[in-house]
Amino acid sequence: MKQSQLFTKTRREAPADETAKNAQLLARAGYIHKEMAGVYSYLPLGLRVIKKIEDIIREEMNAIGGIEMKTSIFQNKEVWEKSNRWDDGVVEIWFKTKLKNGGEVGLSFTNEEAYSNILKQYVNSYKDLPVFPYDFKEIFRNEARSKSGVIRGREFYWKALYSFAKDETEHNAFYEKAKVAYQNIFKRAGIGDLTYLTFASGGTFSKFSHEFQTLAEAGEDTIYVDEKKSVAVNKEVYNDEVIESLGLKKNDLVEKTAIEVGNIFTLGTKFSEPFDLKYKNEKGEDKLVFMGSYGIGLGRLMGTIIEVMSDDKGIIWPEAVAPFKFHIIEIPSEKPEVKKMAEKIYKKIGESNTLYDDRDLRAGEKFADADLLGMPYQIIVSEKNADFGKLELKNRKTGKTEMISEDEIGKFL
């Protein structure tokens, strides 16, 4: 798209009330608008990043048999009373509101109850299982403090998948596939090298849950990393017995701070019991469904990428999640050849792949904006370049530039 068509603008200074690097950079670059602490609107460039992340997650969930639906934000009191999670004394982070004709409703803070209640309508026989529904939706959590930018919101955009299996064996088979799918997501989003499968506290039905933790100074979690084995242990379960049971050695583990970018969890029959979610097996016996949960916050992933992939000039997007792969910087000139060349390249690369800075601004301002916005490749079209029939291609991450011909652009598409 042409930058002159984009209504957002960059700012030199971050808003005074933003302390998190991710929110400072996103606000300066015009990707987000802060509505209140922990609540952000995604402006056009920010939404493009969210959509790219959403597409990656959707592909990986569909590849392991996920089936997408769209559950409501409003939650029914009667449904949540079944699992004893309606009470504010049990769940502190509820947001609730009142219906005009009486009665309270909750705003979803998670999806186990809504999903169990829906599946209860449809699961009768072993033939109906397994099933792996998921959705993308807004989630609301009444956090007392919210200072981590888009990493910890009061309102945030989330993918949750729940697995409904006949038994633990069938569950485990899916759980292992989900682990791989999650690792694929973080690899594709550009933070695979920094993200560790991490053993964390489990529950009644499994000794551990699994978190995906990305090493970052801004992290709120402490983990112990075995780099060679590419696994980590969350501080909450870090003790000699656990280390040994995982076949790890204390000397190989290094303490790090990290951001939890996803987690997967064996729920067992914790929710199928209160919802009486049963199926008839091949012998006609009633059996409880065995469940698992698989969550990931899209804004949190976006914020984490920025925490680990930026420099003092701005954001450095990995290709797969960048709003645009290319940023064409036309250096204003009186020679019509410059604009002509820029327009030609823009047409060649395509408007969905490139942001084209066609604005009438000084070169220095344009370079600063491009570095702040963080597209992976900058293509600089100046008088000098037009004269020589060459383009200057700058890699935002390495800072390296090379001169290429128009035809060579094809290599990068």
- Give the pair of three-digit tokens for residue 48: 């493009």
Is the Cβ–Cβ distance between 207 and 236 less than 8 Å? Answer: no
Asked if residue 37 lies in contact with residue 146, where contact means CB atoms within 8 angstroms, the answer is yes
Shortest reach from residue 100's CB to a copy of itself, in Å: 5
CB 46 → a copy of itself: shortest distance, Å?
8
CA dist 81 and 317 (Å) reads: 44
Shortest distance, position 316 Cβ to a copy of itself, whole Å? 23
Residue number with CB closer to a copy of itself (2 or 179): 2
When the beta carbons of 43 and 56 are compared against a copy of itself, the nearer one is 43
Pairing of strands 254-268, 278-280: unpaired
User: Would you mind telling me the total number of residues written for the chain in this entry?
Assistant: 413
Name the residue nearer to a copy of itself (CB basis): 39 or 404. 39
Nearer to a copy of itself, 76 or 257 (CB): 76
Whole-number minimum distance, CB 197 to a copy of itself, in Å? Answer: 28
**Cα 79-83-84 angle, rounded to 5 deg:** 100
Which residue lies nearer to a copy of itself by CB, 24 or 201?
Answer: 24
* Cβ 91 to a copy of itself shortest distance, Å: 12
Residue 214 CA: distances (Å) to CA of 132, 198, 334: 26, 10, 48
CB closer to a copy of itself, 137 vs 210: 137
Residue 218 and residue 241: Cα distance in Å, rounded?
A: 29
**70 versus 411: smaller Cβ distance to a copy of itself:** 70
Peptide bond connecting 130 to the previous residue in cis, omega within 30 degrees of 0: yes
- For the CB of residue 43, give the shortest distance to a copy of itself in the complex, in Å: 5
Q: Letter for the amino acid at 250? A: K
**Does the CA dihedral 52-307-136-131 come out positive or negative?**
positive
Positions that interact with a copy of itself (CB under 8 A): 5-9, 30, 33, 35-36, 39-44, 46-47, 50, 65, 67-76, 79, 92-93, 95-101, 105, 107, 114, 118-119, 121-123, 128, 131, 133, 138, 140, 142-145, 154-155, 157
Q: Are 413 and 379 in contact (CB under 8 A)?
A: no
Q: Name which of 199, 227, 229, 228 is nearest 213 in CA terms.
A: 199
What would the two tokens of residue 405 be?
Answer: 């011909």
DSSP E strands in 175-253: the ranges are 195-203, 206-215, 221-226, 231-234
Question: Residue 73 CB, nearest distance to a copy of itself (Å)?
Answer: 6
Nearest distance in Å: CB 90, a copy of itself: 15
Shortest distance in whole angstroms from residue 288 CB to a copy of itself = 17
Measured from the CB atom, the residue of 43 and 232 that comes closer to a copy of itself is: 43
> Which residue type occupies 104?
E
Q: Where are the alpha helices (DSSP H) in 212-362?
A: 240-245, 298-308, 336-349
- C-alpha span between 32 and 39 (Å, rounded): 10
Q: How far is the CB of 251 from a copy of itself (least distance, A)?
A: 43
φ, ψ of residue 248 to 5 degrees: the values are: -105, 165
The tokens for 153 are 């919101």
Q: Measured from the CB atom, is 208 or 294 closer to a copy of itself?
A: 294
Which residue number, 106 or 295, has a Cβ lying nearer to a copy of itself?
Answer: 106
